[in-house]
Amino acid sequence: MLLYLPALVAAFVITLIEMTEVVALVFALSAEHGSIRSGTAGAVVGTAVVAAIALAAGAVLIAFPRWILLWAAAVVLVAFGFFLLRSTLRTYRKLRIPSTAPSAAGRSSHAVQFAGGFSVGAVETLETVIVLIALAAAGYGGSAILGAVAGGVLLVGAAAVLHEQVRRIKIPLLKLVATALLFSYAVFWGGEAAGVSWPGADLILIPMSLALILLVRAVVDWRVPPPVLPVGAKG
């Protein structure tokens, strides 16, 4: 079977882009814990479910009401965003106002991470699968599959390296960025579900995320102001 380079490249790029968003969201969902297992497991299951549906239903998946899934994902991520925002505020509060009182950890958040990972994996895989099915319908199924597999393999390797780097980031900063990232994707997906045509497509997530990082930081400083040092004290 001959390979068609444009189809292979298209499948490679779309897989790399969409699945990179999955990896980013898994890190965001898992920011409160030292492990990404729950979020990763959810993303893997969500990806597998949609992939299985795609294999079973084929082109029928194109008719799937994607806007419903996007709205659901946006609502879920907003809820997760506020959940993580509360955790971020607690972290900065402990950092800026040390206390000897024991804190209660939200153990049930493992289920939250799994559910969020599932939603992210399902949404992004759906977008990838729609492109792959279109390429397959045009007669380039082999090239599409090869490109998708190549993109996935490359991303898995990159994620392994990124995981070690993320673990070295200070928890307060990681939580702050993760909170902003969750809200960014919620706004982005909600806009897509509402029919908004974002300028630059997925690239709009970059300035959107930066703006929300500044906004979340402002909320943190508002709710947990830095300690006021006595006159003459050195910070």
In angstroms, rounded to a whole number, what is the distance separating the alpha carbons of residues 134 and 138? 6
H/E element holding 118?
helix 109-135
pLDDT value of position 212: 92
CA dihedral 203, 205, 207, 212 (to 10 degrees): 180
Q: Which of 231, 207, 179, 217 is nearest to 29 (CA)?
A: 179
| Closest CA relative to residue 121, chosen from 56, 32, 185, 199 | 185
What local confidence, expressed as pLDDT, does residue 215 receive? 94
Q: Which amino acid is at 180?
A: A
**Displacement of CA 163 from its chain's centroid (Å):** 14
Would you say residue 234 lies in a domain?
A: no
229 part of a folded domain = no
Write out the chain's pLDDT in tens, 235 residues. 456 676 787 788 778 777 877 877 777 776 666 677 888 888 888 888 887 877 776 556 555 566 776 787 678 778 777 877 887 888 788 777 765 444 444 444 677 778 878 887 887 787 777 767 766 665 677 888 888 888 888 887 777 776 666 556 566 777 788 788 878 878 887 888 888 888 987 788 889 989 999 999 999 888 887 765 555 545 4
Q: Is residue 228 part of a domain?
A: no
- Answer whether residue 235 is part of any domain: no
The pLDDT assigned to 98 comes to 60
Q: Answer whether 131's CB lies under 8 Å from 124's CB.
A: no
Is residue 233, in this structure, part of any structural domain at all?
A: no
Residue 167 lies in a domain: yes
Count of the separate structural domains present in the chain:
1
Name the residue range of residue 187's domain. 5-223
